[in-house]
């Protein structure tokens, strides 16, 4: 298990720019070595800023979307047109603007029954069983909630013990059902990229890096992959200066 790799930008736009640049580099390497780039997107307001940047014409040219397969690390159990849908957010901010379009976009079919939606996503993730289970995604983008949740893995929920690669889980604190990647799938990835910004996240970031709390975000340890943390200075305020990149 490798140590986490920190990227700290002075402002949120700097951090998002750094992540976009890194993402394009990883896509290029994956396509060069394996012929395709397997990318899982996340929801949230900060990722929306990343997707808006990647949708700009100058950035579109830097990532080979025609050889990119897009997944979603989690999704609220709402229709794809619902304002809370991660797919709708990513489509509005990025996917609908791309030319050429991605090789594939795999949304969660929330209109199916949970059993059918999970079976459908397992099928897509294993790419017709041509990849091992759990499959190895190239990059999974994640965020962190104030209580340490990531994707839709919340503290003290049974889903944390799941041996499946995907799950339909109830989140009592949000009174909602969600679909999510599980720890076995996340920990089989080549790269995890956490995007965390804002002073309201400084406390949970400090807890994660000082091992004060075994929250879901601290359980992400891909083998043999690595974890990158893209932080702005506000979210990194409490971190020990000795671990910050020079």
In this predicted model, what pLDDT tens digit does every residue of 144-182 receive, in sequence order? Answer: 999 999 999 999 999 999 999 999 999 999 999 999 999
Closest C-alpha to 41, from 64, 71, 69: 71
- Give me the count of residues in the chain: 246
For residues 134 and 235, what is the distance between their CA atoms, to the nearest angstrom? 32
Q: Which domains does the chain have, with CATH numbers?
A: 5-215+233-238 (3.40.50.1360)
Residues of the chain falling short of pLDDT 50: none
* 61, burial (CB in 10 Å: exposed 0-12, middle 13-18, buried 19+): exposed
Percentage of the chain lying above the pLDDT 90 cut: 87
pTM of the model: 0.95
């Amino acid at each position: 298990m490798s140590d986490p790799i920190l990227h700290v930008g002075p402002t949120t736009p700097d951090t998002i720019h750094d992540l976009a640049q890194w993402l394009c580099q990883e896509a290029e390497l994956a396509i060069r070595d394996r012929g395709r780039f397997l990318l899982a997107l996340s929801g949230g307001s900060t990722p929306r800023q990343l997707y808006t940047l990647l949708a700009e014409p100058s950035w579109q040219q830097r990532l080979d979307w025609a050889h990119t397969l897009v997944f979603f690390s989690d999704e609220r159990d709402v229709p794809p047109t619902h304002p809370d849908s991660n797919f709708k957010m990513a489509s509005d901010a990025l996917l609908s603007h791309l030319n050429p379009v991605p090789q594939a976009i795999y949304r969660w079919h929330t209109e199916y029954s949970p059993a059918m939606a999970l079976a459908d996503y397992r099928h897509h993730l294993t790419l017709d069983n041509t990849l091992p289970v759990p499959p190895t995604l190239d990059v999974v983008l994640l965020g962190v909630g104030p209580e340490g949740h990531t994707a839709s893995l919340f503290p003290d929920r049974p889903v944390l013990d799941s041996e499946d690669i995907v799950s339909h889980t109830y989140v009592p604190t949000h009174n909602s059902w969600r679909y999510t990647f599980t720890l076995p799938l996340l920990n089989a990835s080549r790269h995890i990229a956490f995007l965390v910004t804002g002073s309201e996240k400084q406390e949970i970031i400090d807890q994660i890096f000082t091992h004060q709390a075994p929250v879901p975000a601290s359980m992400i340890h891909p083998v043999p992959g690595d974890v990158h943390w893209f932080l702005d200075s506000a979210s990194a305020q409490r971190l020990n200066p000795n671990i910050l990149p020079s």
